[in-house]
Structure 1
């Protein structure tokens, strides 16, 4: 069995890749040609008793594609049938013109369809369907059916309906014809299937038939009642992904490109590599779970290698990608993991493969996202008695450490959850960024959003991890040797994690700003600070398998007589000073002595420390019923050389009251450089102009120009751009750009199809990255 499956996989891989590369070669030859142009009857006569011989089968890819909403797939344009399960489609069977000197006769001839899924297919597990073509379609939606729709002298049209729970992927079809009754030369009739029965004729249709999920079909478990939403979550090729700290987040355009001819073939390879059993590939729960592990390369050498340290010289920086197709194509051509991705890149690619399969999918960004490594449903930070953070978790026997990402991006997919109690279907969170293992693999979900919202941590899959991401309390502990635990608990922050959960509004796209931003946070948790939100965490802690989790969670913290407040910053224009400010209020009738420690440091968006920028510590007295303000100012020369990727800064304050042993700490993140507002003709300070009066198939020009806004040279400069059905991904390497220097570059391309298209571009350099913009252009 293992050898059969291995041979099947290798043959499938070779066939799909060879076909794909031949298409690319043909496409390139046509492009070069356009650039240079600027300025047999095989029927055999047999006896009248023989079964009809099939000479060809037509699957009407364009006609069926229109009704199945698959006509946008490039494979359909090239003649490959792509269908959605649970819905009827039509095929035409042609017979030899002189076949038996007779026409199809429904009283004499039988037609059978034999459809198979994978090697050694079997009717027992749903991977083989044997269907007799009848006069009527039976009404059972869980069974395949076929009927004669019409016929003429040499052809028959058949209407076929697949079952709504069919396996998703490539099916193969054989047509079998035979006669019902055998006629002797003297006119005597024999019984069906007797010794004199003519041999059945079998025709092996060469077409790959792609069968997809069908969220338009009520009997499909991916069904979504609001059809307008499906235009966004299945059919829309352009999206927005929100990135950056919660005070300065912005939407960056992303090209899903799910209809590209490289996408579906690669998904078939991914499902084979995933190890998901063939008979399980009609279950969106298991399919989405398999895909969440195949988009990252950690377990099965999947699509993307993750990297977060800013060192990308041997690959493409995550911020340089414009969409999923360039990544998918590179992987398909080499079958080696592509360098490099980060969370929004993983989510963008996963969004592509889900939408291509017909699984409704949206990309969501959690601003201030927790990573709970020990299952306590809290994010625990530990400090010694000198207020230095301890770089390990003394309460985690596995050695992991909780962290907080400035933002984290994953996906929601829509489906019924028949494995859970009623009411837990709908949106489900899945995540392909390799953070934690789930059942021994780097994958996450699908986790029911309703289960997350209600704290039902016992429901599959990975609900506790997702719940902690969006609603964990941040608890800080200070070393205290007199305490049995060795630490005393400082005040917990209930509001820091899960500030916003953003996704793109359905069927709205703002290429100039963020008016298409939609906060769906209350789909993940009750309103922050309400009793219901607190009960969610109580329910979760009570249902947690983590022994002692309740000790990390405090429902009613004790009152303190000194209040502290760290003033948040949003953005700091690059080269300008900023201040860390803590306001202190002594509510008691007595003097309070406060030991304070203020720190500013650069950091990666994953919460990993970059470089220490400045630190100040001291002790001071706060009078009774009075307010004080503690301030630390950071000058440009102190931070300019210490910024890391994306220019994110962290401010951290920790204070302790001598008289009461009260301890407090807080942190805030902000972006250490200012982004100019995006306009339709501008990409950061990059002027982005495209030739007017574009015509499909005719050369056009894109002009990129910009002025270096930094007070340093920009080196290793690259512009990447693409547009679905407009132009394939292109990479332009530019010369270094000096301080204040203006650079202009003109690039020629050929628009691939007419209509309104999104053109998206990114600019990266060693010193300045994550610059992205887009423009809508019309092609005649």
Structure 2
């Protein structure tokens, strides 16, 4: 008698996918699926057919699962098929369920700490009575992923209902724009697309993360924060913030992650270009594909603390002109981003004291290095909130992002440090931290916006918030020095920069500073007002208009200084996303009291309307009309829409549109062939030579015929 020869092995991809919550992966829904996707720590079923009947007394069948090219203890599972095995959450086993002649049904159990990835399987058959053996290599992909549904998995979420949002939802929103006009930009995560898991495996290999580390979500999420940017290791996206994207795709044009990951996998080259929300969108896709719960987080008015002082420092000359460098930190100046986007990932933290599990911040936008590489996190939200900066990883940087104080310094030859403090603002940074509300998607408004500021910091101005920040300061020698200096000059004149809320594109606006002299003597004041176009990361683009002058304010009198900005002043100088900064500075001759303030706002653009003229029926062609009105006094040329949808064949469609005259309606027809029932989402962006970063989305139901 010879050892068994394997005829076929089959893992029931569809049947296993149901209990494993992997049924949404596209490859599982192929006509004859050949790829199996399951989650660790949970049994899955298979069957093997041999070329002769299986003899329980004589035949031995060994299953050997391997991950990577040099399997070790943690990356190999070897077991003999047996009838009476009791599964254990820390080990592999294979249990015989049924024998029908030459066919054996079995169940495989995997350890709940198993490294995730694409595993291979080898079957070795032999006889109890001889040394002869046969080897069979199973040639299909078998993915084993994190299992946040399993209470023993490190990614387990107690409120299992939320996993519908944080692992299984393939569409979301990213809040972008300055605080007054921030809005949700729809994003198609597409973690179940057939290109995504192979792209994720390629990323992890390129990041050189050892296979035996791939079971630890702390290590995996830290590596994801590094490999989604291309700064250290030919990762996925090249970051660029200067408005010059001709040799790639402008960040504002992307509608989702799939196109980016598919291009990365196909070309094995870095993909140009990303900015913070693009990095964050890709991180959520990668994490959700692997089974790590993830959400995209937007911090409105975000600090980039370049020198670990837990402050954002702005420096001015003696005449209150702003310096564009930091005299105390030659490597780089602190900056304030209108908004910054990163991710929260969910996991237990067995590497930290109890109480620091749950949401952890990771940031893939390359800003500062951590342990020598452009990576950031996972930083427990609880540690950020309490100012406990000693814990892994990068808590100090994240604490400054949401809660640094803004300090202004003026050159002062009489001061010991060479600079005296103008003022300090505790409320400026981290105005609001937003994410998408679970289970809601509002294509037209902000009903799906969730304010999670309280998860990142205590309410501004409360004793707990000051204590948390000072707790961080206490652990940092450098921060102590900055906080030791406080302003004590006389201030009998008050200044107020009026807020500008919204300016529709093509309309004028006025910058106004109110000045009140509280003293009984007249005051001579030098003032300067500037309107500048800025990139969203705080980098200045062009001065749009500036005035400087002297104003006399009589005792107990009120005056105002203002500047009118016309569309012709700002339109040629606007940069992407149309963010503007207004800055005001003043110095009182008699008392040397100085003051400075600035404010950000956005010139608003129209949204794309997406309309269907008839009901959508599965498998029947239909048309969607994309349109908006040109808001400018000039013709739009080189017009193109880009559309992604969850229920239409093909990943992303591009549609050229005819030039649009000033204030004319611009529209394009989108052919649609719905391929799944229920609610499907459409996400659109538009660009032209004159106007970019126009967005729109719609949710529509597909019916049976």
TM-score band by shorter chain is: over 0.9
TM-fit CA distance, 1:702? 2.8
6, 15, 23: which is aligned to 1:71? 23
Asked whether the equivalents of residues 112 and 152 of structure 2 are also in contact (C-alpha less than 8 Å), the reply is: yes
Cα contact 2:631–2:662 (8 A) shared by 1: yes
Q: What SS does structure 2 have at the residue aligned with 1:268?
A: helix
Kept in 2: contact 1:143–1:163 (CA 8 A): yes
Pair 1:608-2:539 in alignment: yes
How many angstroms does 1:87 deviate by?
0.7
Structure 1 counterpart of 2:681: 758
Counterpart secondary structure, 2:614: coil
Deviation at 1:691, TM superposition (A): 5.5
The aligned counterpart of 2:621 is: 699
1:52-86 Cα shifts (integer Å, max 9, x gaps): 32211111110101110001111222321001111
| C-alpha contact 2:422 2:487 (8 A) present in aligned 1 | no
Indicate which of 301, 308, 314 corresponds to 1:368.
301
Task: Give distance in 2, aligned partners of 1:630 and 1:502.
Answer: 35
Distance (Å, rounded) in 2 between the aligned partners of 1:769 and 1:575: 14
Aligned counterparts, 1:509-588, within 5 A: 509-544=441-476, 547-553=477-483, 558=488, 560-588=491-519
1:147 and 2:95 equivalent? yes
- The 2-side partners of 1:556 and 1:108 are apart by 85
On the 8 A contact 1:62/1:79 being kept in 2, the answer is no
When structure 1 is superposed on structure 2, of 706-715 and 341-350 the one drifting more is 706-715
Displacement, 1:552? 1.4
Match of 1:334 in 2: 267
Measured after TM superposition, the shift of residue 371 of structure 1 is: 0.7
Does the CA-based 8 Å contact 1:719-1:763 persist in structure 2? Answer: yes
Per the TM alignment, residue 406 of structure 1 is displaced from its structure 2 partner at its CA by 0.6
Of 189, 192, 203, the match for 2:136: 203
Shift of 1:569: 1.4
Query: 2: distance between equivalents of 1:134 and 1:622?
Result: 94
Tell me the residue number matched to 1:23. none
CA distance in 1, matches of 2:291, 2:697: 26
Distance in 1 (alpha carbons) for counterparts of 2:419 and 2:446? 44
Structure 1 residue 109 corresponds to structure 2 residue 59: yes
SS in 2 for 1:258: coil
Question: What is the CA distance between 1:557 and its match in structure 2?
Answer: 5.4
Higher mean Cα deviation, 554-563 or 447-456?
554-563
| Higher radius of gyration, 1 or 2 | 1
Provide, for residues 306-338 of structure 1, a one-character-per-residue CA deviation record: whole Å limited to 9, x for no partner: 222222222222111111111112222212222
Measured in 2, the distance between the counterparts of 1:143 and 1:583 equals 71
* TM-score (norm: length of structure 2): 0.95
Deviations 1:88-119 (A, max 9, x none): 111111122xx1xxx43434433321111101
Query: Is the contact between residue 522 and residue 555 of structure 2 (CA under 8 Å) also seen in structure 1?
Result: yes
Q: Does 1:308 align with 2:260?
A: no
Q: Which runs of 5+ in 1 are unaligned?
A: 1-46, 183-196, 677-683
Distance apart, 1:460 and its partner CA: 1.2
Q: Is residue 59–residue 91 contact of structure 1 (8 Å, CA) maintained in 2?
A: yes
Question: Pairwise mapping of residues 368-387 of structure 1 onto structure 2 (< 5 A)?
Answer: 368-387=301-320
Question: Retained in 1: the 8 A contact 2:432–2:453?
Answer: yes
- Whether contact under 8 Å (1:250, 1:514) holds in the other structure is yes
1:340 shift after superposition: 1.7
Give the match for residue 490 of structure 1: 422
Distance change (3 Å), C-alpha of 1:530 and 1:616:
same
- Mark the CA change 1:587 to 1:105 in structure 2 (over 3 Å): closer, same or farther: farther
Secondary structure in 2 matching 1:240: strand
Q: Deviations over 1:128-183 (max 9, x none)?
A: 11122333443531212221122222211111111111011111111223334x3x
How far, CA to CA, are the matches of 2:62 and 2:225 in structure 1?
Answer: 38
* Structure 2 residue aligned with 1:87: 42
- Aligned counterpart in structure 2 of residue 407 of structure 1, from 335, 339, 362: 339
Gaps of 5+ in 2: none
Q: Name the SS of the counterpart of 1:548 in structure 2.
A: helix
Equivalent-residue separation in structure 2 for 1:388 and 1:562 (angstroms): 19
Find the partner of 2:641 among 719, 739, 755.
719
Name the CA distance, whole Å, in 1 between partners of 2:297 and 2:168.
Answer: 17
Q: Is structure 2 residue 7 aligned with structure 1 residue 55?
A: yes
The equivalent position to 2:527 in structure 1, one of 596, 613, 617, is 596
Instruction: Return the alpha-carbon distance in structure 1 between the equivalents of residues 274 and 70 of structure 2.
Output: 37
**Count of residues in correspondence between the two structures:** 698
Q: Which deviates the most, 456-465 or 654-663?
A: 654-663
Once residues 442 and 146 of structure 2 are traced to their aligned partners in structure 1, the CA distance between those partners, rounded to angstroms, is: 29
CA drift of 1:198 comes to 4.4
Instruction: Show the counterpart of 2:174.
Output: 241
Higher strand share: 2
Listed one character per residue, the Cα deviations across residues 632-651 of structure 1 (whole Å, up to 9, x for unaligned) are: 33233332322221111111
Alignment TM-score, normalising by the size of structure 1: 0.86
Q: Per-residue deviation at 1:200?
A: 2.8
Partner secondary structure for residue 424 of structure 2: coil
Deviations 1:445-490 (A, max 9, x none): 1111111111111111111111111111111111112222111111
Q: What SS class does the counterpart of residue 352 from structure 1 fall into? A: helix
Q: Which residue of 634, 651, 660 corresponds with 2:582?
A: 651
CA distance in 2, matches of 1:606, 1:669: 12
Q: Distance in 1 between matches of 2:617 and 2:174?
A: 30
